[in-house]
Amino acid sequence: MAKNTPMMEQYLKIKADYQDAFLFFRLGDFYEMFFDDAIKAARELEITLTKRDANQKEPVPMCGVPYHSATNYIKNLVDKGYKVAICEQVEDPKVAKGVVKREVVQLITPGTVIESNMLTEQENNYIASISHFDDGTFAIAYNDISTGENSIALIEQGWDRVIHELFNQPTKEVVISSSLPESLQHDLKAKLQVTISYQDEITFNAEYRHLCDNLDDERLMKAFSRLLNYIQYTQRRSLDHLQTANVIELNEYLSLDMYSKRNLELTETILKKGKHGSLLWVLDQTVTAMGSRKLKKWIERPLLSKYQIESRLEIVEAFLHAFMERDTLREILKSVYDLERLAGRIAFGNVNARDLIQLKQSLVRIPELQSLLMQFPETSFQQLAKELTIPEDIVTLLEASIIDEPPISIKEGSIIKDGYHEKLDTYRDATRNGKQWIAELEQKERQATNIKSLKIGYNRVFGYYIEVTKANLHLLPEDRYERKQTLTNAERYITPELKEKESIILEAEEKSVALEYELFIEIRDQIKEYIPTIQHLADLVSKIDVLQSFATVSEQNHYKRPRFTGNTLQIKNGRHPVVEQVMQDGSFVPNDVTLDRNTNILLITGPNMSGKSTYMRQLALTAIMGQIGCFVPCDEADLIIFDKIFTRIGAADDLVSGQSTFMVEMLEAKNALSNATDKSLILLDEIGRGTSTYDGMALAQAIVEYIHHHVGAKTLFSTHYHELTALEESLNKLKNIHVRAEEYEGNVVFLHQIEEGAADQSYGIHVAKLADLPESLIERARTILKELETKDTSNIVEESGETSQLSFFIEDEKETISTNSQQESNLNQKIVQALADIDLFDMTPLDAMNELHRLQKKIKRGS
């Protein structure tokens, strides 16, 4: 191999330490990438791939991005889950001997970005670490480096719970030990689409002692240290804004498994993965980005403490009735800057004078906020208001020091107010006096020469000069002026005294710009001391913002304050918070729910598309809204505080992780059955549908019985297996309800109304008709149905020449005894039946394709 240049040697040495990152290698005005980095980056960033050292035997692939526009390219890569190591020249190239020294100054990773243009305003950007212990427990530590938030949770219920937890509080990057078992690492990658990073060395840094004074568990300390070590490794800069680690006691919050969080579309929808159409979308009337982030956190962790829930509700209720005050409040909040992220940028030394002005402007609104809250007599308000004290010193300092409309740059002066610093004032006086003197000189020279158009100007090359037009040159005295520059129409001159003043002015200007920069840094560092205070304020302001948001949506959508009275859940005219918004026209049909001492399980029947799933989801969403302290969509509600919610809903096929629908269904059921308590809510929506009829029905019945006898959780169970309604007789805490539909001229009309008792028929065929399946097929399905209903199956078999069994029910078992022709007609039966069974309304196009593919395969295989 050809010998490398010294610079390439340097590159390779540094790159060796950053194998899993793109190395942005600073060369003059560019960041360059080489070898595989270059090939990959050229593809990802759509930039040109070139070659370096074409005279070498093996030219090196290379590509680069300009230093000035690097942020966009970095953002692009980081958004895709990659890491970028920024390698700078760390000595002046002019004084360097040999190759300029270079070092990685920052490793930018998806979980550790702080640049505001790489962050989403309304979302936290979490990184997490996992530590595992011999006793089978796990500890998760979270950090959002942009806000300084730190939290830690201990998980004693095993690995599954770790996945559920990380799904619940989404993270961009997870830091693990390379000793985490392979299978778990694989699971992590498969289930959560996150960047995985490794940090094996854990050294406790005494500098951060104060962040974990409250941690008395070795395991928590270990997880936290792992995370801090990794963050230090990536940042290499001041992290003064990191907040004391907050221990999340998971059993103080309603527990939602990952399936529920996804199925209920709490913060994003299943299909589009966006906020629009989620519960968060409906509830978010926050004014500040901090508030929006806080709301998301609250939705992810509903409360269990009645006291805490009630104190939120108390504030919401008061805000709801105080329309004027709420309006004023929203106005005030609008002018409050993102204090949380600002605190982070102050710590990083990333703020400019404009940011500090915005900080000041935000802080001065706080007393208004305080006195507004004081007007409410409720104790919750008084408590909040009391805490809303502002660091007066910062306001005074900023008021005295920084001008109201400073420039963006902090290196070009015009930031600091007059009178703030004596030395600066002297420099400025010198400049101003000098300029004044020059202005006066212009007057004097005009009079002396009698040239009205004579003027004094300034440019960077020649400094101050006297300009005289060619036409007036003859009026100029010969000796006093020294010619400096000739233009087409004019000549420019200088004089010794002009130059003398000039140097005073320029020197003073230069000194004052430098001094201003120094003063600005000093001010910024003074403000650093107040970071914890600013962070506390941010926390309070964001809470207030969320509570006013609850009041605002509750008013707009006519939500009612729920009561938490005990063991009875009773909702009058409940609505689905999202569906009713999407329908817009007020045509949503409200429904009641009752679950009391005598009723644990509601078995819901009704045709497809009648509203079963909607009814079930609406209960879960109502429960969650209540437990985060928001009013709920209904006329009246008594709610139970649920400890856990489990759901298995609809056709949410887990296409992403490649598991079959039925397997996912069973996993979700297992998760519910093994973790639910008698204080939990379970929603099982058409469970058992992914397998053959008898199979599915048998499983469904066994599950209902199991919940009834062993779990005791409040349960909503929808089914298209009509036969299950008979369970009402054997299970005393099970009640049948159904969604009413009416048949009108052979078509089904959905009323979306829940009524007691079992549905009288299943309407599946009606829906098939709605979906425009061929008339002959529909007719055939009707005949089959009739026969089945009379339990006399001989006719169906006869028609196809079949002699024996109902093998289209039981997929593969009895077929071996059939002859070929029997097999074929038997198969035809099955295909027709399978087609009739399809409910198109509950399928995604992909499902439909899969189903067709499956059927076609059967036909081709002949079995």
Q: Using CB under 6 A, list all residues that contact ligand ADP.
A: 579, 588-589, 591, 606, 608-614, 752
DSSP secondary structure of 57-103: SSPEEEEEEEGGGHHHHHHHHHHTT--EEEEEE-S-TTT-SSSPPEE
Of 606 and 696, nearer to ligand ADP (C-beta) is: 606
* DSSP state at residue 663: H
Residues with Cβ < 8 Å from 248, sequence gap 6 or more?
151, 152, 153, 301
* Binding site partner of 171, from ligand ADP, Mg ion, none, Cβ cut-off 5-8 A by kind: none
- Closest CB to ligand ADP among residues 285, 608: 608
Q: Which does 262 bind (CB under 5 to 8 A by kind): Mg ion, ligand ADP, none?
A: none
Task: Give least dist CB 225 to ligand ADP, A.
Answer: 48
208 binds, among ligand ADP, Mg ion, none (CB under 5 to 8 A by kind): none
In the bound state with Mg ion, the residue whose beta carbon lies nearer, of 127 and 684, is 684
Contacts of 37 (CB under 8 A, 6+ apart): 15, 22, 23
Residues in the chain: 863
Residue 172 interacts with, from ligand ADP, Mg ion, none (CB under 5-8 Å by kind): none
Name the 3-class secondary structure at 568.
coil
Token pair in block for residue 199: 């940090």
Residue 836 corresponds to which amino acid?
A
Considering the complex, what minimum distance in angstroms separates the CB of residue 576 from ligand ADP? 7
- Minimum distance, C-beta of residue 618 to ligand ADP, in the bound complex (Å): 8
Q: Which does 27 bind (CB under 5 to 8 A by kind): Mg ion, ligand ADP, none?
A: none
For the chain, give me the number of helices (H) and strands (E)?
Answer: 29, 26
Q: In angstroms, give the least distance from the CB of 766 to ligand ADP.
A: 12
Residue 642 Cβ vs ligand ADP, minimum distance, rounded to whole Å: 21
Of Mg ion, ligand ADP, none, which one sits near residue 609, judging by CB under 5 to 8 A according to partner kind? ligand ADP
533 binds, among ligand ADP, Mg ion, none (CB under 5 to 8 A by kind): none
Q: Which does 588 bind (CB under 5 to 8 A by kind): Mg ion, ligand ADP, none?
A: ligand ADP
Is 360 or 735 the residue whose CB approaches ligand ADP more closely?
735
Minimal distance in Å, beta carbon 588 to ligand ADP?
4
Partner from Mg ion, ligand ADP, none binding residue 589, C-beta < 5-8 Å depending on class: ligand ADP
Token output for 234:
């990536």
Give me the least distance between CB of 749 and ligand ADP, in Å please: 12
Sign of the torsion formed by the C-alpha atoms of 255, 257, 263 and 269: positive
- CB neighbour list of residue 379: distance below 8 Å, 6 or more residues apart: none
Distance CA 373, CA 638 (A): 29
DSSP assignment of 277-336 equals: TSHHHHH---SSHHHHHHHHHHHHS-B--HHHHHHHHHHHHHHHH-HHHHHHHHHHHHT-
Give the CB-nearest residue to ligand ADP.
611
Q: Decide whether 235 or 614 has the Cβ nearer to ligand ADP.
A: 614
Q: Structure tokens of 452?
A: 């009205």
Q: Within 10 Å of residue 744's Cβ, how many Cβ atoms?
A: 8
Q: ∠133-139-145 over CA atoms, to 5°? A: 140
Interface ranges with Mg ion (CB under 5 A): 612-613
Any idea which residue has 């108390």 for tokens? 314
Taking the least distance from each CB to ligand ADP, the nearer of 592 and 811 is 592
Among candidates 186, 191, 170, 129, which has minimal Cα distance to 266?
170
Minimal distance, residue 685 CB to Mg ion, in Å: 6
Residue among 314 and 839 whose Cβ is closer to ligand ADP: 839
Closest separation in Å from C-beta 602 to Mg ion: 15
Q: Which is nearer to Mg ion, 613 or 725 (CB)?
A: 613
Least distance in angstroms from the C-beta of 592 to ligand ADP: 11
Helical (H) or strand (E) element with 845: helix 845-861
Task: Write the DSSP symbol of residue 5.
Answer: P
Tell me whether residue 74 or residue 681 sits nearer to ligand ADP (CB atom): 681
For residue 764, the minimal CB distance to Mg ion (Å) is 12
Q: Which residue has the tokens 């992590």?
A: 188
Residue 610 binding target from ligand ADP, Mg ion, none, CB below 5 to 8 Å by type: ligand ADP
Query: CB under 5 to 8 A by kind: which of ligand ADP, Mg ion, none does 627 bind?
Result: none
Q: Contact, 158 vs 180, CB < 8 A?
A: no
Q: Quickly count: other Cβ atoms within 10 Å of residue 4's Cβ.
A: 14
Instruction: Choose from Mg ion, ligand ADP, none: what does 614 bind? Cβ within 5-8 Å by kind.
Output: ligand ADP
Please state, as a whole number, how many other Cβ atoms lie within 10 Å of the Cβ of residue 487: 10
State which residue, 458 or 841, has the beta carbon closest to ligand ADP: 841
Closer residue to Mg ion in complex, CB, 360/689: 689
C-beta of 42 vs 578, nearer to ligand ADP = 578
SS3 assignment, position 187: helix
DSSP per-residue codes, 465-484 = EEEEEGGGGGGS-TTT-EEE
For the CB of residue 769, give the shortest distance to ligand ADP in the complex, in Å: 16
